[in-house]
Amino acid sequence: MSDRIAQVRNLSRRFGRTQALDHVNVDLFPGYVYGLVGGNGQGKTTLIKHLLGLLKAQEGTVEVLGMDPVKQPVQVLQRIGYLSEERELPDWMRIRELLNYTAAFHSGWDAAYADELLATFGLDEQKKIRELSKGMRAQAGLIAAVAHRPQLLLLDEPSTGLDAIVRRDILNAIVRTVADEDRTVLFSSHLLDEVEQMSDFVFMVDAGRVVLQGELDTIKQSHRRWLIQFSEHRDSFPRLDGVLWAECNTSLWSVICNGSPQEFSSLIQAAGGRVREERAASLQEIYVARVGPGTTRPME
């Protein structure tokens, strides 16, 4: 594996009484798409702003491409692409003017690639930014973010407010391509089906902490969803090793378990239960089990 693209160690950040980040550790490597998942206000954007050098670490360290993004902003930002959730683009510019303006900051600007993306998205380069729909603004902003072929592409909620076709174009035509060229993508999203579709590696954040991280396939293999039926009615689920979440619907218990399926099956049988169904848990189910409210996990 190649050298790290970014390294975050024990990063903490407070805004007043709010703990936005709590001793976060993150490593990003070339050739990977990283999904950053969590609810609104849980620390995703704050982490991205530290990688961009827009925020200085109050505690801990941030290193991007071997540099401190706060102390060496020009060198770092020249090699990063970024699209914010707000799509902050100058309304008075035309699309072509936006691309020419952006190209002036990047010696590696690939004009042919930019034109290819314009054609792929069907954008009129003479249209003004203010005349664009949400989807078109996102597409124009994305071209500006990737046409210099950055080593690290940061996407903060890139699909917010976009229809399914535009989301597909952004995720498939851009995100996967960047990773296949041995560059790196980190994208935050609350749309867990998209993260599951596109990511190689997932960081799950809650209240500023990374509560789960790992390669997506490994995470899914280690989390199973079970349907359990007991011979007698139960008001709560028995306390068994590995159970993260359990909820009863009529006579069936839905359970998310982290651990050996064989061991859990034996524990269920010993507790008087019968397995009706077992499968890999979805990322959505794993997220709910890991960060959902404790009232959804009744156990003895």
pLDDT above 50: residue 297: no
Please state, in angstroms and as integers, the Cα–Cα distance from residue 133 to each residue in 21, 100, 120, 164, 189, following that order. Answer: 34, 21, 17, 14, 21
Radius of gyration from C-alpha coordinates of the chain? 22
Mean pLDDT within 27-42? 92
For residue 21, pLDDT beyond 80: yes
- CATH class (in words) of the domain with range 220-296: alpha beta
Distance CA(121)–CA(191), nearest Å, equals: 22
pLDDT of 181: 86
Most confident listed range (131-145, 149-163, 173-187): 131-145
Lowest-confidence segment of 14-23, 59-68, 172-181 by average pLDDT: 172-181
pLDDT value at residue 293:
63
Percent of the chain exceeding pLDDT 90 equals 66
What percent of the chain clears pLDDT 70, i.e. is strictly above it? 96
- pLDDT tens digits, residue range 148-167? 999 999 999 887 777 777 77
pLDDT tops 80 at residue 169:
no
pLDDT for 299: 44
H helices present in the chain, as ranges: 44-52, 73-77, 95-103, 111-121, 134-146, 164-170, 176-180, 192-198, 216-222, 261-270, 283-291
Mean pLDDT of 11-27: 95
Note the pLDDT tens digit of each residue in 214-251: 999 999 989 999 999 998 888 889 989 899 999 998 78
Domain residue limits, the chain = 6-207, 220-296
For residue 102, pLDDT over 90 is answered with yes
Which own/partner contact pairs does 25-30 have at CB distance under 8 Å and 24+ positions apart?
A: 25/210, 26/203, 26/210, 26/213, 28/4, 28/152, 28/184, 28/186, 29/1, 29/2, 29/4, 29/5, 29/184, 30/2, 30/5, 30/151, 30/182, 30/183, 30/184
State the CATH architecture for 6-207. 3-Layer(aba) Sandwich (3.40)
Instruction: Look over the chain and give the mean of its residue pLDDT values, rounded to a whole number.
Output: 89
Position 168 scores a pLDDT of 78
Mean pLDDT computed over 198-226: 94
